Amino acid sequence: MKLRILLYLIVPAAVLVVASCGRGNEPLRGNTYLLGTVLNVAIHDGGYREELIEGMFDRVAEIEARMSTSTADYDTTELLAVNRAAGETPTSVSADTYEVLQEALYFSRLTDGAFDVTIWPLVALWGIGTDGAALPDQAEIDTARALVDYSALELLPDRRVHLPTPGMGVDVGAIAKGYAADEAARILTEAGVEHALLDFGGNILLIGNKPDGSAWRIGVQRPDGERSSFIGVLTLSDRSVVTSGPYERFFEQDGVRYHHILDSATGYPAENGLSQVTIIAGRSIVADALSTACYVLGLEEGRALIESQPGVEAIFVTEDRLVHLTEGIGDRFELTDSDYTLAP
């Protein structure tokens, strides 16, 4: 949060883009701070200019300005307007927001509410990632939990959105980074880019393969380590890789750690023996939604869900340091950290 304020002080009205020219075989790189995280892009084709990256980040900033539910960052956004109008009249939203809500509702249904687009009352109550994060009373949790119900969200014609009960609210925090990465990739691809790597705060999207024709090698984060330490390596092209875990945002109270992926069935952070879930999919929005959903579902149900989705694979890491792979991963994942063991 502090970094964000600092960046706005330096460049008040625009997205700060730090781009460096691709010289020789060096990729053209850019980074900025958006969606509550650091975004990095590396374009490996020659001949592109910083403006392409600036335009791409402007598009991500537009998505954030429409769909953020952070009152710390925005007085209003389309989703804050939808949530404030809950129990009243429908709210008109942009095509962007409507599409993301449609996708989010699809994944809410697919996962039977493990991913729930109407999780907002619980997110707001816990405030994890804000200065006001604290363990709520059980009564407050029960009240908020009763307001979480994706089946009540109405997506009406003419891009109107309605929530029937005051206090209800939508939140796309579990899917927005994926949508933004897909949009960013679309902009690059339409400009002719064939080899690029996007890293949106650990959400990876690969365009094509490396310029030499080989696949990218992507480290899978170690759950208890720094971002830079890996349990293993994925060898992939043209895929998105997204990891969800309890370590991204959390607070501690009385020695207990409370993290930001909430289980609408209990009203508490999801706890089921998982250290993290990594999803590999063609679209980043799919990987983002399913990584959050699988973290809530746990190993058994999560794996069954992923095996039912064509073209989607997963790596589950359990608290006993076992690494469970879905069948289709084959030899694309190589375990490199001897503290972890592949599950039989």
Q: Where do contacts with Mg ion occur on this chain (CB under 5 A)?
A: 174, 288, 291-292
Which does residue 296 touch among Mg ion, ligand ADP, none (CB within 5 to 8 A, set by kind)?
Answer: ligand ADP
In the bound state with ligand ADP, the residue whose beta carbon lies nearer, of 171 and 182, is: 171
Asked if 17 and 54 count as a contact pair (C-beta separation under 8 A), the reply is: yes
Using the contact rule CB under 6 A, the part of the chain among 94-102, 114-122, 208-216, 314-322 near ligand ADP is 114-122
Q: Is 288 in the site for ligand ADP (CB under 6 A)?
A: yes
Asked if 98 and 155 count as a contact pair (C-beta separation under 8 A), the reply is: yes
Least spacing, CB of residue 16 vs ligand ADP, in Å: 21
In the bound state with ligand ADP, the residue whose beta carbon lies nearer, of 123 and 234, is: 123
Which does residue 118 touch among Mg ion, ligand ADP, none (CB within 5 to 8 A, set by kind)?
Answer: none
SS (H, E, C) the chain: CHHHHHHHHHCCCCCCCEEECCCCCCCEEEEEEECCEEEEEEECCCCCCHHHHHHHHHHHHHHHHHHCCCCCCCCCCHHHHHHHCCCCCCEECCHHHHHHHHHHHHHHHHCCCCCCCCCHHHHHHHCCCCCCCCCCCHHHHHHHHHCCCHHHCEEECCCEEECCCCCCCCCCCCCHHHHHHHHHHHHHHHCCCCCEEEEECCEEEEECCCCCCCCEEEEEECCCCCCCCEEEEEEECCCEEEEECCCCCEEEECCEEEECCECCCCCCECCCCEEEEEEEECCHHHHHHHHHHHHHHCHHHHHHHHHCCCCCEEEEEECCCEEEECHHHHHHEEECCCCCEECC
Which does residue 246 touch among Mg ion, ligand ADP, none (CB within 5 to 8 A, set by kind)?
Answer: none
Residue from 68, 77, 91, 264 in contact with ligand ADP (CB under 6 A): 264
Residue from 99, 248, 271, 307 in contact with ligand ADP (CB under 6 A): 248
Least spacing, CB of residue 153 vs Mg ion, in Å: 18
Structure tokens at 93: 């939203």
Residue from 171, 182, 183, 199 in contact with ligand ADP (CB under 6 A): 171
Least spacing, CB of residue 5 vs Mg ion, in Å: 25
**Footprint (CB under 6 A) of ligand ADP, residues 119-158:** 119, 123
Which does residue 188 touch among Mg ion, ligand ADP, none (CB within 5 to 8 A, set by kind)?
Answer: none
In the bound state with ligand ADP, the residue whose beta carbon lies nearer, of 43 and 243, is: 243
Which does residue 262 touch among ligand ADP, Mg ion, none (CB within 5 to 8 A, set by kind)?
Answer: ligand ADP
Least spacing, CB of residue 179 vs ligand ADP, in Å: 11
Residue from 29, 162, 259, 260 in contact with ligand ADP (CB under 6 A): 260
The residues binding ligand ADP (CB under 6 A) are 115-116, 119, 123, 171, 173-174, 177, 244, 248, 260-262, 264, 288, 292, 296
